[in-house]
Every structure is written in structure tokens, then in C-alpha cells.
Amino acid sequence: MRMKKFWKDPAFQMIASLAFFLLTWYVASITGLFGRYPPRLMGLLLPTPLEVARTVWEMAVTGNLTRHLGISLYRVMTGFALAVCMGVPLGIAMGRYRMVNGLVEPLVRVFQPIPGVAWVPLAIVWFGLGNKAAIFIITISSLFPVLLNTTQGMRDVDITLISAALTMGANPRQITTKVLLPSLVPYLITGFRIGMGFAWRVVIAAEMVGVPSGLGYMLSLGRGIGRTDITIVTMVTLGAVMLLIEHSVFVPMERKTLNWKKAWGR
């Protein structure tokens, strides 16, 4: 059997691409691509990968990184959970009852286009510089993707499936639990995924401009005290956390629905 050419191996490609990136980073950092300063200040603009790795260690030891990560994570999860608890039932009610839809839809149209970050000033005025303000903004911004995907899912429910369940003697409660909710699952996953992305974006923004804790605070703190390495470590952490959530929650969920998702395409 002939050996596969090593440069066609995806693992090799991944390592090569990361290595190229790190090398470029290192060269940019020592040559002063982003501006020239006296050598002892060079690290201020773009610290080398090695310096950043050292900072990761330092921050892990002091516990600062995990503490602020925990704070942001708590805000995102609470705000997102609130958005789900409100958005899913409301979306189902809007799909089911014309009246609820008529009452809620105008408000959705008014508030949905406002970017979540635009709520930051009001939230700080109302709730002060703490968790409450951050959670409020997160809830507002992740509510709409969850809500809109739920109503879309309700609109797309296959009427024939409901008829079939009715002819088999299903009552309204069984129609809801055995037909409506399973039909909604792919739409809910999409809504949750987008809502979670929105939640992270606004929590960072809120922490950068006001709320003095969490990963967003660390990002702007690093800049403020001349420790660009802290900012970069925080960015990397943020990327890693989002990647982890994507792969440990959403990808497995999607894989589960893959078995039957194809049937929706009709």
C-alpha cells in the first residue's frame, strides 16, 4: 500500500498553519511591525508568543484568569438561561395563538434592531456597575434570536404530522409534547447557538466600557496599564471558551438531530 502524501494529511495542515501563524507573530513582534520603540518597550505593542505563554502561567497561578472568566461565564449563563426561559414559551405562544402574536410582534419589531450594546448606558444607570446590568443586557440581546427561531419553527411545523397524531387519538397536550416540541428542536438549537454568540459579544462590550470585572474588563485593563500580554491572553481564553462550548454542547446536539433533520428539507 502506498503511503498517503503527508502534506495531504489534515493534521499536518493544521500544525503547519498554526506554526506559520506563530512564526509571523514572533517576527512581527521582534521587528516592530506595529511601530518601533526602544527595545525594552517593544513588548508593549506586541509581546512575543513566549511572553504571552509566560503570562498565561502567571495569571493561572494568581487565579486572576479563572476568577474573571468565572464572573463572565456566570453572567452569560444566567442571562442566556433567562432569555431561553422567556423566549421559548413566548415563541410557542406566538406561534399557537394569533392574539399573542398580534400583541408581541410590534414590540419585537421595535426592539429587535437595537444592538444589545446600545443598552449598556441605560443598564448601568438602572442597575449599577455589577452583575445585574450585565445580565440584563445579555438577556435582552440573546432573547431575540431565541424567540425568532422558535416562532419560525412553529410556523414550519408539518400540519400533516399533527393530523396524523390526531387520527391516532392524541390530545392537545400530547400533540405539544410528542409533535410540536420535537419538531422545534433543530430551530431551538439554531436559536440557542446564535443567542449564545450574542451573549458573549455583549458581555465583553459591557465589561469593557463599564462593569469593572470579567474578561472584558481584563481586555481593557491590559491596555490601560500597558500589559498587552494580559489583553492577548484574555482574547485567547475567550476564543478557547467559545470553541469549547461549541464543541461540547452544540456540535453533539446537532449530530443527534442529523438523523432526522434531512426530512425537514421537503
Residues within the interface to other proteins (CB under 8 A): 158, 160-161, 163-170, 174, 178-179, 182-183, 185, 257, 259-264
Spatial separation of the C-alpha atoms in residues 244 and 86, rounded to whole Å:
26
**DSSP state letter for 7:** G
Task: Give least dist CB 63 to other proteins, A.
Answer: 44
Which of 129, 166 has the CB closer to other proteins? 166
Following DSSP, what letter does each residue of 39-94 receive, concatenated? GGGHHHH---HHHHHHHHHHHHHHTHHHHHHHHHHHHHHHHHHHHHHHHHHHHHHH
Spatial separation of the C-alpha atoms in residues 31 and 42, rounded to whole Å:
9
Spatial separation of the C-alpha atoms in residues 15 and 134, rounded to whole Å:
38
Task: Give least dist CB 195 to other proteins, A.
Answer: 22
Which of 7, 167 has the CB closer to other proteins? 167
Task: Give least dist CB 72 to other proteins, A.
Answer: 35
**DSSP state letter for 113:** T
Task: Give least dist CB 184 to other proteins, A.
Answer: 11
Q: Evaluate whether 208 touches 216 at the Cβ level (below 8 Å).
A: yes
Task: Give least dist CB 135 to other proteins, A.
Answer: 33
Which of 82, 161 has the CB closer to other proteins? 161
Which of 152, 257 has the CB closer to other proteins? 257
Which of 166, 194 has the CB closer to other proteins? 166
Q: Evaluate whether 213 touches 68 at the Cβ level (below 8 Å).
A: yes
Measured CA distances, 155 to 102, 147, 171, 258 (Å): 15, 12, 20, 21
Q: Evaluate whether 75 touches 212 at the Cβ level (below 8 Å).
A: no
How big is the CA angle at 184 (ends 93 and 242), to the nearest 5 degrees? 110
Task: Give least dist CB 255 to other proteins, A.
Answer: 13
Task: Give least dist CB 142 to other proteins, A.
Answer: 25
Task: Give least dist CB 181 to other proteins, A.
Answer: 10
Which of 35, 265 has the CB closer to other proteins? 265
How buried is residue 100: exposed, middle or buried, by Cβ count under 10 Å (0-12/13-18/19+)? middle
Which amino acid, residue 132? K
Which of 77, 170 has the CB closer to other proteins? 170
Which of 77, 185 has the CB closer to other proteins? 185
